[in-house]
Structure formats: structure tokens, C-alpha cells
Amino acid sequence: MSKPLNPARPGPVTRIRIKELTGATARDRRDDLATEEPLEIRLTAPDGTRRTVAITMRTPGHDFELAAGFLHGEGLVGAGDIATIAYCTDEDLPPEARYNTVTVRLHVPIPDLPALDRHFLTSSACGVCGSASLDALHDRCRPVPRGSLKLTPEFLYALPDALRAAQGVFGKTGGLHAAGLFSAEGTLVALREDVGRHNAVDKLAGWAALSGRLPLSEHVLMVSGRTSYEIMQKALASGIAVVCAVSAPSSLAVELAREFGITLVGFLRGERCNVYSGAERIS
């Protein structure tokens, strides 16, 4: 069978048929799954030079934000270096991969960085990290200013429910992580969902970068899972002063938070939480 010339654009939800067992009873029914598809991110310079910098597994949706957020968070290009972002229509690309490949056209040459020689290849739940990466952050990131942001425990306790209430795709599938950006008043400013925790944060960062909202020093990031080094790195690159999570942080995440002045809150459930760094921002 020949492949369609104009394949359907993948969505965040995939419907399948399953067999559900309850006790000794079986029935066929429909089920909704969180879609997981690869996304290739390509850079194109003004002189026509092209390079693939990342292939990541993600949930389709907000793909341009994901590309911009990834590039910004990894320190590869700034938001002002991006001319356009579009799905790739190169002749070497099969039609069925069109919506899984994004081309970022730059105003500047493609950076000559060791990270590009390493070539990022990530799953939806991992990244490149370690003590060397933490040391390298000092070359491109400054500590987050203390600023005027002050939060109460009651503010923190309200975040998980607010995040969960806005997770539309999670409500259908039960299989997505979320990252929400809140104002100092507790208003949900933006939310993104993805099968990968770090992808959801990249989508938020990309949204902020492309709309000229960086840095996010007066905002709070709330994530639905645990906080890893990679998530903290992305928060730092966006200037976020407070990161909260419903689960635990890693040791390197805590080290990064303390070294760069980020308030890090974990195990935020009900009316309790652990403050691992930056307790001075919580009154």
C-alpha cells in the first residue's frame, strides 16, 4: 500500500481498542493514549548550512515552542537569534515525517559548540547531565537575583490542584507530565503537557522566549513529577526563581538550586512540602 502524500498531523491523543478485565469479566472498549512521536530539530544558517541538533521523543503539540525552548535551555541559540521556525519540507524528508521535523532558521551562523558534536539524542525522560555540566553552567548562566518575590505556604499548597485542574490531555490519558507557570499572585499564566517532564518545561520556556517574556524571575514553575538536574538547568536558563514539584528532587538538582539561588520545593502535596533551597522567599 502506498503512503499518503499528505499524512495526517499527529495529535496529543491516540485512540486504540483494548480488552479490559474486571474480575472474571472481559470487555472490549476504546482507550485514549498519550501520543509519543519523535521530533527532529534542525538548524539552518543564513549561508544555507544545515545541521540536526536533537532528536527527542515528545507529545505532538507546541512543537515550535519545544524547539525554541530546547535551544535556549541548552545555551545553543538565543531567542533573538531565531528568524523563523517551521515544519520541514526538505526533499530528503519522507512525507510521513513532515510533522516530526522542525527547521529553525537563524539570523546567525550555527554555533560551533561541543554539544553539537556530541549530537543530542534523547528519550522523553532523560538528558545529558553530571557534575561537568553543572560547572559549565557558570560559563553561561548567572545566579537568579533575589528580587521581590515572596510566597506564603498557602500559595504553595494551592499549586498542585491548580496544575492538575488545567491538565486537559492528562484527564483523557492519565499518561502525561505537566509544567505550569504561575504569577506571583497565583494565576496560572501558561501550562504545557508532554510525555517527557523536560519537554513540558521546554515548551513553556519556548513560549516565553518567542513572546519576549524572558527572564521569568517573578514567576513560579510547578512540575507534576520529580525535579532533575535537567529541569533545574532549564529553569535557570529562563531566570525562574522558584521551582516546585509534587515529588522529590535529585541531589544534583538541589546542588544547582543552592549554587544559583533558586528556591526549590519538593513533595508538595496537600498542606506539606520540603524546602530544599531558597527558603528566604517563603514567608
Q: Where are the domains of the chain?
A: 153-281
Say how far apart CA 88 and CA 85 lie, in whole Å.
9
> Is 191 strand, coil or helix?
strand
Answer for the pair 159, 178: CB distance below 8 angstroms, yes or no: no
Tell whether residue 64 is among the known ligand binding residues: no
Q: Is 126 a catalytic residue?
A: yes
> Is 15 strand, coil or helix?
strand
Say how far apart CA 171 and CA 45 lie, in whole Å.
41
So what's the pLDDT on residue 131?
54
Helices (H) and strands (E) in the chain, counts: 8, 13
The C-alpha angle 110, 232, 148, rounded to 5 degrees, equals 105
Tell whether residue 268 is among the known ligand binding residues: yes
| CA-based end-to-end distance of the chain | 65
Say how far apart CA 69 and CA 63 lie, in whole Å.
10
CATH fold of the domain at 153-281:
Cytidine Deaminase; domain 2 (3.40.140)
Q: Is the dihedral of CA 64, 61, 238, 138 positive or negative?
A: negative
Q: What is the DSSP letter of 140?
A: T
Q: What is the pLDDT along the chain (283 residues), one digit of tens a residue?
A: 444 455 678 888 889 898 999 999 999 999 888 899 999 999 999 999 999 999 999 999 999 999 999 999 988 898 899 999 999 877 777 777 889 999 999 999 998 755 554 445 554 444 444 556 667 788 888 899 888 899 999 999 999 999 999 887 766 777 789 999 999 999 999 999 999 889 999 999 999 999 999 999 999 999 998 999 999 999 999 999 999 999 999 999 999 999 999 999 999 999 999 999 999 999 8
So what's the pLDDT on residue 192?
95
The alpha carbon of residue 31 and the mean position of all alpha carbons in its chain are separated, in whole angstroms, by: 26
So what's the pLDDT on residue 168?
75
So what's the pLDDT on residue 170?
67
Tell whether residue 270 is among the known ligand binding residues: yes
Tell whether residue 271 is among the known ligand binding residues: yes
The C-alpha angle 109, 114, 116, rounded to 5 degrees, equals 60
Q: Which of 126, 129, 141, 273 is catalytic?
A: 126
Q: How many other β-carbons are positioned within 10 Å of the β-carbon of residue 42?
A: 18
The alpha carbon of residue 61 and the mean position of all alpha carbons in its chain are separated, in whole angstroms, by: 12
Amino acid found at 177: H
Say how far apart CA 8 and CA 96 lie, in whole Å.
8
